[in-house]
A = this chain, B = another copy of it.
Amino acid sequence: MKNIRRTVRFAGIAALLLTTVASTASPPSPSAVELAQKGDDPAWAITEGLTTEVGPRQAATDAEAAARRWALTRLTQMGFQNVREEPFMMQTWVRGDEEASLIGPFQPQKLHIAALGNSASTGTKGIDGDIVYFASYDALVAAPDAAVKGKIVFIDHQMKAAQDGSGYGQYGRARFTGPNVAAKKGAIATVIRSIGTDNHRVPHTGGTNFDAGVKPIPAGALSNPDADQLVRQWQRTQATGAASGANPAPLRMKLLLTPRNLGQQRSGNVIAEVSGSDPAASPVIIACHLDSWDLGTGAIDDAAGCGIITAAAKHVMTAGQPRRTIRLLWAGAEEVGVFGGKAYFDAHGKEKHAVAMESDFGADRVWRVDFKLPDSAKALSDRIALAVAPFGVTRGAHPAGGGADVGALIEAGTPAIDLQQDGTRYFDLHHTPDDTLDKVDPVQLRQNVVAWTATLAILANSSDAELP
């Protein structure tokens, strides 16, 4: 009950503030936040439309090109200005066939596996090998080469669901560079426990990277139930070996992964703007990514993010022309190496941006706002914190980090604000076939839009003294 009383009190203050902020619009019109709270929900329409009509849209494929066409049409229909594609070329890797089985010493069983981005191919005949188990990435790093050479390395981890998504950085190393470490030690392939927190037969894909000079090896992720099965069989072979005093019977795997590199292919960023009334003012840039991994329809990653930022910009635009231009970046090719973010920075990095934000952590509620702003923006950040408080968003103590697609801008000094989403469910779905529309909760999606709209309305009307 305490929280409800707090919310009511903050709501009064925030309503006052929002009235002030919205004073550039004609008084009888609803404020941007009122528009976000009621009526149409462009965020849902975009999320539903993109995932239904295009579906999976891996970077630099025909599907991503279809997604860009879809985006250009939709953003134009919605009344945005300067809607355009900014193409770029990129190295492109695509999935092939994928099969894995445990073939001994127990009854053969098929496992659910997905190749990791940049995995090598096993060839069409596949490979057989003995598994060597590592409980963690660190255990693999510490292992002598002799323990790994000629084996199929399995890397386990202990990631748990967390609101802030913590754990992905630490445990994700098994995917990010585990295969590279194993390749350097002479492994013939690497199979990891999916970097995910669910218990469904849906593997989590994602990119892996090999150092220059390291020959890539086949690399895949097992679903969590399949990883559990492998671990149980491994423990049995070890226990049986220990009980008999002999070497444990090898745990055998058959692996077939036939991904291909297609060389340089075309991807692109889609950009749209709400033109500000003051052409001299630096723009606010808000980002999401249009591409998705190929296994799901990319609903939470990141159609919803595009829906959220676009709905917020639309509501601010409808409430009245803002002072600053709002630039929307629907980035291409985030998943496979942030090529869109890099291309944007190459083209626009020298332009002044007032502040950068990104939505790319699903569609569950915003619970915290973080800032990384110049000292001149102290009062601005207070106004934003008060404006989002009624919607259950607390102020964080740490600096904003921004999202991947605006990472280069922030690195170069652009101020940033994060509206942190509840990531408790995020790694149940991330990069899996299960990233589909039904996982998006329309109520929480709208809360995102309201928090974004409240923030964006303030930012887009901020003064040059606050955000140069």
Residues of A within 8 A of B (CB): 48, 52-56, 62-63, 66-67, 106-107, 109-110, 112, 199-202, 224-225, 228-229, 232-233, 236, 296-297, 432-434, 436-439
Contact = CB atoms under 8 A, between A and B. Distances in A.
Copy number in the complex reads 2
A144 to B, nearest CB: 30
Contact of A438 (B52, B224, B233): B224
A224 to B, nearest CB: 7
A106 B54 contact: yes
Given A107-B63, A200-B200, A52 B436 contact: no
B66 A107 contact: yes
Given A48-B232, A53-B106, A199-B436, 13 more contacts: A52-B236, A55-B106, A56-B110, A199-B438, A199-B439, A200-B200, A201-B432, A201-B433, A201-B436, A224-B438, A225-B436, A225-B437, A229-B297
Contact of A233 (B52, B225, B236, B436): B52
B438 A112 contact: no
A102 to B, nearest CB: 8
Contacts of A202: 200-202
A239 to B, nearest CB: 12
A233 B259 CA distance: 30
Given A48-B232, A229-B297, A232-B48, A201 B434 contact: yes
A433 B106 CA distance: 19
A279 B319 CA distance: 88
B229 A112 contact: no
B52 A297 contact: no
Contacts of A53: 106-107, 233, 236
Contacts of A67: 107
14 contacts: A52-B232, A53-B107, A55-B109, A55-B229, A56-B109, A66-B107, A112-B433, A199-B436, A200-B202, A201-B432, A201-B434, A225-B434, A229-B436, A229-B437
Contacts of A296: 201
A106 B67 CA distance: 11
A135 B311 CA distance: 33
B109 A297 contact: yes
Contacts of A54: 106-107
A434 B201 CA distance: 6
Contacts of A66: 107
B201 A438 contact: no
From A54, A63, A224, A436, name the one whose CB has the most chain B CB atoms within 10 angstroms.
A436
A67 B54 CA distance: 44
Nearest to A436: B225
Contacts of A233: 52-53
Interface pairs A-B: 6 shortest CB-CB: A201-B433, A55-B109, A225-B436, A66-B107, A52-B232, A54-B107
Contacts of A62: 107
Nearest to A63: B107
A251 to B, nearest CB: 12
A225 B297 CA distance: 10
Contacts of A63: 107
A437 B107 contact: no
From A48, A112, A225, name the one whose CB has the most chain B CB atoms within 10 angstroms.
A225
A202 B199 CA distance: 12
Contacts of A236: 52-53
A66 B201 CA distance: 24
